[in-house]
Amino acid sequence: MLPIGPLMIEHRLIEKMIKAMEKELHRMETEGTADPVFIETAVDFIRTYADRCHHGKEENILFRELEKKAMSEEYKKTMKELVDEHRWGRKTTRELLDAKEQYQQGKVEALPTIVDRMAALVYFYPKHIEKEDKRFFIPVMDYFTQQEKDAMLKEEYEFDRQFVHQKY
């Protein structure tokens, strides 16, 4: 298995949460109320699984190793875009959580911000994942030997093993 295999599998789980967020977004827009428990759960998933675990492996393993390679300018540019997108996702998730907290304090005027930030994440993640899956992960594997791929895969598994203990 390529070291990107687990990363692409993780994308499928992230897509499931995004679908649930999209459904909740529609409900919020229709009913005009937010569900703080759902938002808290979605934020926890995005922060813990999508960002710390998944993006952690991308940035701290795959991208780190790619930086050692003489990549094409196109792939260097795409990798920088991906890191910038990860930062944008963190910022947007933080803004969603902040708006949720205001809403819970009785500030109903925070609802449009909740809707806007959730919509931004629902729109963002599928495009981000498509860029990684179709335009980056598979082609950049040509920069690695099989031995390097195996070493990254092993490091990803160790990252996951350690991560579970950091979280719980």
Q: Residue 155: pLDDT above 80?
A: yes
Q: Residue 1: pLDDT above 90?
A: no
pLDDT band, residue 4 (cuts 50/70/90) = low
pLDDT of 121 reads 98
Radius of gyration of the chain (CA): 18
Asked if 121 and 24 count as a contact pair (C-beta separation under 8 A), the reply is no
Most confident of 2-6, 136-140, 157-161: 136-140
The upper half-sphere exposure of residue 3, i.e. CA atoms within 13 Å in the direction of its Cβ, equals: 31
Domain residue ranges in the chain: 4-167
Task: Report d(CA 103, CA 151) in Å as an integer.
Answer: 46
* Architecture field, domain 4-167: Up-down Bundle (1.20)
pLDDT of 3 reads 62
The upper half-sphere exposure of residue 155, i.e. CA atoms within 13 Å in the direction of its Cβ, equals: 17
pLDDT band, residue 77 (cuts 50/70/90) = very high
